Amino acid sequence: MKVLTANRLDDGAVVYIGKAAPWVEDLASALVAVDVGAEGQLTETAATAVKARLVVGAYLMPVTVEDGRILPASVRERIRAAGPSNRPDLGKQAPAPALPR
């Protein structure tokens, strides 16, 4: 199983091809390709986005799905999906800022 990831061109943020939207920041919303055909479709979508200057450095990354949760296979991708492991206050793992009252 694979997910297609890249970095967004204008700010470098880690993004994934999503189930409901072309590019999402949250791995949980990513589209998981379960066969070669689906992987090919993701790669094509990414190539178009690279041409359209939305993202750079697109590639397929292996994942597993456990209890509906998408888990990256590598330490590197786990860190990309969350943020630096020494700074839980930074990256995607950072608590959302409090809403103004």
Partner 1 sequence: MYRYDEFDQQAVDERVAQFRGQVGRRLKGELTEDQFKPLRLMNGLYLQLHAYMLRVAIPYGTLSPRQMRMLAHVARKYDKGYGHFTTRQNIQYNWPRLVDTPDILADLATVEMHGIQTSGNCIRNVTSDPFSGVAAGEVEDPRPWCEIIRQWSSFHPEFSYLPRKFKIAVTGSEHDRAAIKLHDIGIRVVRNAAGETGFEFWIGGGMGRTPIIAKKIRDFVPKADLLDYATACLRVYNELGRRDNIYKARIKILVHEMGLEKYSALVDEEFARSQGTVKLPDAEIARIQAYFAPPAYETLPATSTAFEARRFEDKGFRTFVRTNVHAHKVPGYAIVSVSLKAPGVAPGDASADQMDAVADIAERYSLDELRVTHEQNLVLPNVKLDDLYTVWKQLSAAGLGSANIGLISDIICCPGLDYCDLANARSIPIADELQQRFADLERQYAIGSLKIKMSGCINACGHHHVGHIGILGVDKHGKELYQLQLGGSGAEDASIGQITGAGFPPERIVGAVETVIETYLSLRHGDAETFLDCYRRVGLAPFKAALYEAR
CB-wise, 22 or 83, nearer to partner 1?
83
At its nearest, how many Å lie between partner 1 and the CB of residue 74? Answer: 6
Query: Locate tokens 């479709």: which residue?
Result: 41
CB-wise, 22 or 91, nearer to partner 1?
91
Interface ranges with partner 1 (CB under 8 A): 7, 9-14, 50, 53, 56-57, 73-76, 79-80, 83-87, 90-91
CB 25 within 8 A of CB 14: yes
Q: How many CB atoms lie within 10 A of CB 1?
A: 17
CB-wise, 65 or 90, nearer to partner 1?
90
At its nearest, how many Å lie between partner 1 and the CB of residue 18? Answer: 19
